[in-house]
Amino acid sequence: MNDIVIQTDKITKTYGSGTTEVHALSNVDLTIRRGELAAIMGASGSGKSTLMNLLGCLDTPTSGSYTLDGVRVDGLGKNELARIRNEKLGFVFQGFNLLARTSAVENVELPMLYDRSGRKRDTRALAVAALERVGLGSRLDHQPSELSGGQQQRVAIARALVTEPALVLADEPTGNLDTHTSIEVMALFQQLNEQGITIVVVTHEPDVAVYATRIIQLRDGQICRDEPVKNPQTAARDLEKLDRSSA
């Protein structure tokens, strides 16, 4: 089994042309192995959102190559990219991006509706299992408006997990959450990571990055720092501490 999930070679993204040309990302080489919990950090304008879009196959690079889970992704057409997103990627967004007026189970079932492998699966059972995995087994039929922010984000995480993707991409997953809930979400990520799931979190909050096993710092469209974290903090333990001090 291929151990490398993400491999980019001189990946570049340029917006505009001529005098208005903007290099959002230039010659980024990045390799992420299976089982990592990597944090991509950077100030706004550093190119982290662009990188996130490219890694998430939501956008195509201007030049350079990108291999995701053994598949060359650059140069693929819209429909192939849609298939890659469906099979290999799970997304967690800052704004949760759940379908309104749709139950938690139906939201989690959503990516399986677009599955083109033709295999027969009990999508509801899988969705229920994914929701139980994120601790929402008792909120199956609640609509997003009936759930707290943290719960909504956990529904989104369940939705990202349900297809068993090679990579879970989280774009500012704690951006809309308070500190306690943020740590809760990171604890969930750590727990899933221990179960072997590769996760890339894009964030500008150092408080969130401390839970990652690797921190990648972007500046002006280039990687300026990329180092593993020896002993990352355990979110679960921080949560206990937080609960004790407030009690």
Partner 1 sequence: MKSSTLIRLASQSILRNRMRSILTMLGIIIGVAAVIVMVAVGYGARSRIHEQINNLGTNMIVITPGASTTGGVSQGAQAFATLTVEDADKIRNESQNVAAVSPVIVSRSQVIAPGGNWRTMINGVDTDYQMIRAWQTDSGTFFGPDDVFAARSVAILGRTVAQRLFADSNPVGQEIQIAALRFKVTGVLAPKGQTASGSDSDDVILIPYTTAATRLTGKPRIPQILASTASEGELSAAQDEIKTLLRESHHITGDDEDDFTVRNQTDLATAAESSTRVMTLLMAAIASISLLVGGIGIMNIMLVSVTERTREIGIRLALGARGSDVLTQFLVESIVMGVLGGIGGLVLGITSAKVLAHFTGWETTISPLVMIIAVGFSGAVGVFFGFYPAQKAAALRPIEALRYE
With CA atoms as reference, report the closest residue to 184 among 118, 134, 219, 128: 134
With CA atoms as reference, report the closest residue to 107 among 130, 83, 133: 130
With CA atoms as reference, report the closest residue to 221 among 32, 7, 42: 42
With CA atoms as reference, report the closest residue to 80 among 52, 60, 109: 60
Shortest gap between Cβ of 197 and partner 1 (angstroms)? 17
Site residues, partner 1 (CB under 8 A) = 53, 56, 58-59, 78-79, 82-83, 85-87, 91, 93, 97-101, 110-111, 113-115, 159
The partner residues of 72 in beta bridges, in order of sequence, read: 67
The rounded distance, in Å, linking the Cα atoms of 171 and 194 is 20
Nearer to partner 1, 112 or 209 (CB): 112
Shortest gap between Cβ of 79 and partner 1 (angstroms)? 5
Task: Enumerate residues 6+ apart whose C-beta is below 8 A from 155.
Answer: 96, 98, 104, 107, 108, 131, 134, 136, 139, 144, 147
